[in-house]
Amino acid sequence: MQNKTDIPRELYLINRYAVRAMVWLNGFAHILIGLALAIAVLMFTWLFFVDVREAASAHNLVHGFLNALGTLMLLWSISALITAEIRYLRGSNLEVEAFIEVAMIVILRKLIVMPVEDGVLIPSDVAFWVGAGLMLGIMYFIVRWSNNLKSKSDDKENEQLVSEDTHLHA
């Protein structure tokens, strides 16, 4: 992090206004992101019902069910992004696991809709998507495990501080 002493004295005022402008612009960007995510929820919900209607009218329920399930998975990924955005707006850090989860959902969706897409199902493509899902699953597990270790470490530090504070006041 840059310290004020690293900035020439003449630029303090400009720096202060630049930081204020960036904070305001970042807040505006997050409002736009929130609105875009809300619109995406409406669009994917509409698309789900269109998929169900088309499946019923085409009398091909399996194909329609898989397409509708794929659309629901997109809606799920939007929901995960909304949850991450809400946490960020409430002051938490953006957590990488939310984005890994979205990537896993997209890959799972691809695997579900592959059999009903037009074209020939190529085994190497399926292997690629399964491998990508497996790698993301391993990455997700490692990130969660790391966060749990950090959480346990923070809890132990807090217990030690409380214990020391109790002994000082006793």
Q: Write out the chain's pLDDT in tens, 170 residues.
A: 455 557 787 888 888 899 999 999 998 998 899 899 999 999 999 999 998 888 888 777 888 888 888 889 999 899 989 998 888 888 888 788 889 989 999 999 898 888 887 778 888 999 999 999 999 999 999 998 988 887 777 666 666 666 665 666 65
- Global pTM value: 0.67
The pLDDT, as a whole number, for residue 47 is 92
The pLDDT, as a whole number, for residue 137 is 93
CB atoms within 10 A of CB 104: 20
Cα–chain center distance at 50: 26
The count of structural domains within the chain is 1
CA separation for the pair 20, 132 (Å, rounded): 41
Is residue 114 within 8 A of residue 129, CB to CB? The reply is: yes
CB contact burial 121-139 (16+ within 10 A = b; e otherwise): eeeeeeeebeebbeebeee
- Containing structural domain, residue 134: 4-169
CB atoms within 10 A of CB 3: 6
> How far is the CA of 73 from the CAs of 61, 109, 110, 167, in angstroms?
18, 6, 10, 53
The pLDDT, as a whole number, for residue 91 is 84
> How far is the CA of 25 from the CAs of 22, 29, 32, 90, in angstroms?
5, 6, 11, 17
Residues 82, 85, 91, 94, CA torsion sign? positive
User: Tokens 């329609």 sit at which residue?
Assistant: 64
